[in-house]
A and B are shown apart, each in its own frame.
Chain A
């Protein structure tokens, strides 16, 4: 079709929508971060850093940050360990069910996160699958606590970010030339040496990108820490929600949100830098 600049006005409704329902509220969020909270708890219009000082003077903020980063690191690392073989398998397999297998791998994306959390409660709970199994085998006598604590949240979070990481890794593998592996094999490298000397180094940029993606998704995840943590796991995401809804302390929620966003941007830049380094 010949180019039709006149079509540009078709962008108007979508642009208007996003300006009103996305850009404006986001700017509003930044604005409210500079408001103050009065002694009665009511919000006072201002341009001050009082709320920032209040939030960062509180050692709990520091603890939340560490919790969030630690949780994200562990669950992303776990998810990476599990996602890598699946992605490599999907990349290499010549099964005629390849596309079906790929869809199954990312199926959790299509299932509500609440449903999956509920599934983990049934697997990891005190009377869940694993405890029942271990008890009937006589390995343990009392149930091991695996939900409503860090273990459960880490496992649940890892599972929830895996589909995204598998996709990211697969996209990265797509650029991996299979003849390179064949060349290594023809030069006498056994499969595991081929993997270590060719496949793994070449997939490092994909790993860096997938890790960055998983980390960012974990940092901002709310449902899994909330439900599998059972109120005992405190991270930035749960605190933002608490402050915004239960406490209706909007300035604090906004400050924490802007702070989290800044952390994420920093990490994103870092992950991009790594990925680019590895590619050259």
Chain B
């Protein structure tokens, strides 16, 4: 059997159109000149981008989300990468059980995690604070980082690290000079995805946000609940472009890192 065949390709094409339609529609709507959601727009303008630039709450939320995402990514890597290293290279008893333990939060719906965190954080006055939101996001990003990096470390050929050891590198030096440099492409991709996961996280944030501190997705939900104008489309456009920039950047960096020598022949 060669290829997909015309019927299957056509069916897939229709579904692709469906998958992409909300995103395409949002991108076009961002340039609407109308006061409400009208598609196709009766005219095109940049007015909603100008409105967006003047919208204090949304811009503040954007800033807060970015701060949280940076903190969450840094902390998740800081405690997730060593854990992944231990899981992949430790070979101690109970490593398999620990792997399952670290994956567990990914199996629980964010709705449940969000509720549990709301109940636990309220007495601690952690709700609607940057640390509280960051801790909440880390319940998602940390297991994700651990899982991704465990796979990356385990996929590394053992002989290369053994070679470094026979050449006189202590276990610590092997990690610094061989293991981590070889894992660099994985680390970059992992950091970017962790940033996006935190930045886009909505449900946990909805539980943990208050009027004082709301992340961007929370502000967006509130806005969409209250009004239906193309402002959110303009914001979406900015977010989609931002996401694409990050994805392309990572592809470039990881690509460069691969060319730098991580390719297996």
B9 and A25: CB pair below 8 A?
no
A118 contacts across to B, CB distance below 8 A = 22, 26, 224, 232-233, 236
B39 and A88: CB pair below 8 A?
no
Interface string of A1-28 (1 = CB under 8 A from B): 1111101111101110110011011101
Give chain B nearest CB distance to A254 CB in angstroms: 7
| A260 to B200 alpha-carbon distance, docked (Å) | 24
**Which residue of the partner chain, among B22, B83, B105, contacts A159 with CB atoms under 8 Å?**
B22
Quick one: given A85-B11, A127-B39, are A26 and B109 in contact (CB under 8 Å)? no
A253 contacts across to B, CB distance below 8 A = 115
Q: Which of A50-58, A59-67, A202-210, A240-248 contacts B (4 or more CB under 8 A)?
A: A240-248
Q: With an 8 A cutoff between CB atoms, is A137 at the interface?
A: no
B4 and A108: CB pair below 8 A?
no
B3 and A92: CB pair below 8 A?
yes
B181 contacts across to A, CB distance below 8 A = none
Instruction: Please name 20 pairs of A and B residues whose Cβ atoms are closer than 8 Å in the assembled complex, sorted by A.
Output: A1-B174, A4-B91, A7-B92, A18-B143, A25-B117, A26-B116, A28-B120, A86-B16, A88-B8, A93-B9, A111-B239, A114-B221, A114-B224, A115-B240, A118-B233, A159-B19, A185-B1, A241-B207, A257-B115, A260-B112
Q: Which residue of B lies closest to A92 (CB)?
A: B4
| A240 to B119 alpha-carbon distance, docked (Å) | 13
B202 and A114: CB pair below 8 A?
yes
The 10 lowest CB-CB distance pairs between A and B, nearest first, are: A119-B22, A220-B109, A3-B91, A89-B12, A25-B120, A10-B82, A14-B83, A1-B161, A25-B116, A10-B86
**Which residue of the partner chain, among A86, A115, A121, A216, contacts B228 with CB atoms under 8 Å?**
A121
Other A-B pairs beyond A114-B232, A128-B38, 4, CB < 8 Å? A18-B101, A115-B22, A123-B22, A227-B221
The main secondary structure of chain A at its interface with chain B is helix
A240 contacts across to B, CB distance below 8 A = 111, 115
Q: With an 8 A cutoff between CB atoms, is B87 at the interface?
A: yes
Interface size on B, residues (CB 8 A): 89
A241 contacts across to B, CB distance below 8 A = 111, 115, 206-207
Within B8-36, the residues touching A (CB, 8 Å) are: 8-9, 11-12, 15-16, 18-26, 29, 36
| A209 to B92 alpha-carbon distance, docked (Å) | 32
Q: With an 8 A cutoff between CB atoms, is A110 at the interface?
A: yes
Within B57-109, the residues touching A (CB, 8 Å) are: 78-80, 82-83, 85-87, 89-92, 98, 101-102, 104-105, 108-109
**Which residue of the partner chain, among A11, A24, A88, contacts B120 with CB atoms under 8 Å?**
A24
Give chain B nearest CB distance to A118 CB in angstroms: 5
Q: With an 8 A cutoff between CB atoms, is B187 at the interface?
A: no
Q: With an 8 A cutoff between CB atoms, is B196 at the interface?
A: yes
Q: Which residue of A lies closest to B203 (CB)?
A: A222
A216 contacts across to B, CB distance below 8 A = 109
Give chain B nearest CB distance to A93 CB in angstroms: 4
